[in-house]
Structure 1
Amino acid sequence: MGESLIQADDTLTLWGIIIVWASFSIYLEQRFSWASKISGAIIALIGAIILSNTGVIPTESSVYDAVWSVIVPLAIPLLLFHVNFKKIWQESGKLLIIFFISSVGTVAGTILSFFLLKDHIPYLEKIGAMMSGSYTGGGVNFAALAAKYETPGEMVSATVVADNLMMAVYFVILMLIPAMAFFRKRFSIPHIEEVESGKGKEDGKTLAEAFWKRKDISLKDIALSIGTAYLLVIVSFKLATLIDKLIPSGENVSLFLNILNGLFGDQYLMLTTITFIMLALFPKYFASINGSQEFGTFLIYIFFVVIGVPASIPLIINNAPLLLLFVFIIVMINMVVSLTFGKLLKYNLEDILVASNANIGGPTTAAALAIAKGWKNLVGPILVVGTLGYIFGNYIGTMLGFWFSSLI
């Protein structure tokens, strides 16, 4: 693609566009019933896709990296300050089972997609390994497996573009499913019903506006929300980095040490764990802070804008249309397996969707889905369960990679 209207190094303007569009998406969601039904998150994501594909904003910038490295970590503790601590442990066990079932869907989809397209896409044995790991726990595994199998750079880049576009489409589908009568009739939807029960029909408010009703907030609340969240992020990330250096990991290290490193050396899992510990130790302090959920949700809307930016449709059409088909098959099989077995095991629709999301996009994007939909009691559990995908996703990718390589 050619140069964009806004350059990648014009950081002030890019930050402005992202924040203004996130703000406008929230406004639309709370002002109009049609926007409330499709959700502000989808509006934010689709708007970003349009802006990047029409050449208004670039597909890569340090601004987007900052959203991933600063905004998302800051949002997580803010959103956990007021969750129901007891329900986190109750929900985690249920989610773990459907998360593993969803992982089976990823493996099945990767195998099917590989055999259908292995004669048409070069290095598919390497790409298959990368995507099976990525779609069992997120992009962390993608990078690790790309390095492990020494996949050619141009194929890695093409796969990233296909993955980004697929992820954008996938998030839209996940957002729309809870509103479809077909699924609402066939699955239990307690979290959706809880959100909808608060709808202010008598005063004409949209569902989103009723859920995010006005609250009292002081300067002290703002200071404690942001300051506490930043402190938790700094302590957690520094501690995880230290542990990652102390506990060895890699191909020549035992499975036990790899698992130990994955559990205690992962920054997001450490952040979630330390936040939970602080919530347990100081419940009155966190309960007294108003506005943390609103701050965290606004930051997640910024994240949704950034998710849509790299989804370059022209690059896919020109370079890798078959790669898009490859990842599409994996994602669809994952969703079908998740929904089918979730229905057989009588899981809630919300549990199934966040578990599938945690596989395909990782725990942070799954938490973002739960936040955008108002399923606040699923935010903590899916962050805990989804992080496990970082650990065994690499093993799944490695095993499939060795098998696929023997078939080429």
Structure 2
Amino acid sequence: MEETASLIHPENYWVLWAILIGWAGVAIILEQKYSWASKLSGAIIALAGAMLLSNTGIIPLDSPVYDTVWTYVVPLAIPLLLFQSNVVKVWQESKRLLIIFLISTIGTVAGTIAAFFLLKDVIPQLNYIGAMLSGSYTGGGVNFAAMATRFNVEEGTISSTVVADNLLMVLYFFILITIPAVNFFRSRFQTPHMDELEKNGDSENQASEYWKGKEISLQDIAKAIGTAFVIVAVSFSLAGFFSNLIPEDSNIFLSVIRGIIGDNYLMLTTLTLISVAVFPKYFESISGSQEFGTFFIYIFFVVIGVPASIPLIIQNAPLILVFAAIIVFINMVFSFGFGRLFKFNLEEIILASNANIGGPTTAAAMAISRGWTKLVGPILIIGTLGYIIGNYIGTSLGVWFTSLM
């Protein structure tokens, strides 16, 4: 699958950085200045703009600049956003999120099985595609890559599936972020986080009200950015140490332990929360950490909208997109159906389903963009645990599907 040439070369780093950061800034300004943009959300504006730029051939679908955002910008955003988190409240919220996340995961499994039996005769190598997508739609891209390696999937199949996965994830993100504004859902689910925002905000524009100006000193900037870099460096080093210490082909118990303490993002979230709990006064004294972290997340929003290439889907993977869409639709039915049955909050259901389909980073980003700050830490923790579950689900389904081909 060859990428079509773009107006801006993938190695034109300064121009691409200018577009990513500039458009993230535009999305934030529009969100806070205009009520229509606030209702639509800056996240959607950032995503839509990136999709438009990539699908019209202005920016490339792939570039080292985008990899840099995933490698450095996103990890730095996570501790910055957790500096004001109370670990006790995080744990209290995590218990509920874990249950709805597991229900959503069952929806992914059911959707994969249903889609496989519907399309196994018309899509080649669907056993491997099912393994990759079921893993990805439980945890995230880490599981997709693991399943591709585990089953030695052909490069062409991987590429086509990646494109379908990216486009569908962005489309589903649009749907999930729009749901809170739809009366059908607001009238049928409890919405305590949205109700609190509306109660406390006197302004019609919630984004502008929430992010109103505050005093931030040079010392705050130094402490916020410097501390974030240190925590990321220590966390990733520790995760790498434990990952190398425990062999990949260990028994089930050691594999689970390796997946927990050897995962970069789970270690990063855990170490940040512990640091905040041990040194509360230090972190409380830092102003501006949420602002920095949120701006980094908006850059991430722009990047995840880039690979959603509609022409490549039409050319290479229309049936794979249908396969993935069935999985996502059944995941959504399970999440919202059982979520309403067991009286989960609308915010919890949306984030749990998002964490399944997009991973913990997209779920945390959505929580941030909607102002559900109390759920940022919990969904990062729960979503990261999905990385562990995803490998087992993907492997099990892949082996089973292969036996049926």
| Structure 2 length-normalised TM | 0.98
Measure how far apart 1:151 and its partner are: 1.0
CA contact (8 A) 2:86 2:277 kept: no
Of the three residues 320, 323, 327, the one matched with 1:323 is 320
Of the three residues 330, 335, 355, the one matched with 1:333 is 330
* 1:130 equivalenced with 2:132 (yes/no): yes
Aligned residue identity for 2:227: T
Match of 1:214 in 2: 213
Task: Map 1:208-247 onto structure 2 (within 5 A).
Answer: 208-247=207-246
Measure how far apart 1:98 and its partner are: 0.6
Measure how far apart 1:393 and its partner are: 0.8
Measure how far apart 1:260 and its partner are: 0.5
Query: How far, CA to CA, are the matches of 1:17 and 1:89 in structure 2?
Result: 38
Measure how far apart 1:365 and its partner are: 1.2
CA contact (8 A) 1:198 1:210 kept: no
Q: Deviations over 1:152-190 (max 9, x none)?
A: 110100000000000110111111001110000000001
Task: Map 1:354-369 onto structure 2 (within 5 A).
Answer: 354-369=351-366
Task: Map 1:381-392 onto structure 2 (within 5 A).
Answer: 381-392=378-389
Query: How far, CA to CA, are the matches of 2:177 and 2:383 in structure 1?
Result: 18
Aligned residue identity for 1:11: Y
Query: How far, CA to CA, are the matches of 1:196 and 1:124 in structure 2?
Result: 46
Aligned residue identity for 2:339: G
Aligned residue identity for 1:388: L
Aligned residue identity for 1:211: Y
* 1:292 equivalenced with 2:317 (yes/no): no
Partner SS, residue 315 of structure 1? helix
Task: Map 1:31-70 onto structure 2 (within 5 A).
Answer: 31-70=33-72
Match of 2:373 in 1: 376
Query: How far, CA to CA, are the matches of 1:194 and 1:340 in structure 2?
Result: 24
Measure how far apart 1:199 and its partner are: 2.4
CA contact (8 A) 2:143 2:391 kept: yes
How many pairs are equivalent?
403
Partner SS, residue 61 of structure 2? coil
Aligned residue identity for 1:131: L
CA contact (8 A) 1:22 1:302 kept: yes
CA contact (8 A) 2:355 2:363 kept: yes
CA contact (8 A) 1:247 1:257 kept: yes
| Structure 1 length-normalised TM | 0.98
Match of 2:247 in 1: 248
Match of 1:149 in 2: 151
Query: How far, CA to CA, are the matches of 2:178 and 2:360 in structure 1?
Result: 20
Measure how far apart 1:105 and its partner are: 0.2
Query: How far, CA to CA, are the matches of 1:54 and 1:114 in structure 2?
Result: 33
CA contact (8 A) 2:87 2:274 kept: no
Match of 1:264 in 2: 261
Measure how far apart 1:87 and its partner are: 1.3
Of the three residues 74, 95, 98, the one matched with 2:97 is 95
Partner SS, residue 59 of structure 1? coil
Aligned residue identity for 1:295: F
Moved over 6 A (4+): none
Q: Deviations over 1:207-227 (max 9, x none)?
A: 110111111110000110000
Aligned residue identity for 1:247: I
Aligned residue identity for 1:41: A
Partner SS, residue 200 of structure 2? coil
Q: Deviations over 1:43-80 (max 9, x none)?
A: 00000000000000000000000000100000000000
CA contact (8 A) 1:198 1:211 kept: no
Of the three residues 275, 283, 289, the one matched with 2:272 is 275
Measure how far apart 1:86 and its partner are: 2.1
Aligned residue identity for 1:110: T
Measure how far apart 1:198 and its partner are: 2.9
Measure how far apart 1:200 and its partner are: 2.7
CA contact (8 A) 1:264 1:270 kept: yes
Query: How far, CA to CA, are the matches of 1:370 and 1:282 in structure 2?
Result: 25
CA contact (8 A) 2:368 2:376 kept: yes
Query: How far, CA to CA, are the matches of 1:171 and 1:200 in structure 2?
Result: 28
CA contact (8 A) 2:85 2:276 kept: no
Measure how far apart 1:192 and its partner are: 1.0
Query: How far, CA to CA, are the matches of 1:196 and 1:47 in structure 2?
Result: 28
* 1:77 equivalenced with 2:79 (yes/no): yes
Match of 1:110 in 2: 112
Measure how far apart 1:84 and its partner are: 3.2
Q: Structure 2: give runs of 5+ residues left out of the alignment.
A: none
Match of 1:139 in 2: 141
Query: How far, CA to CA, are the matches of 1:197 and 1:259 in structure 2?
Result: 43
Q: Identity of aligned pairs, percent?
A: 64
Aligned residue identity for 1:128: G
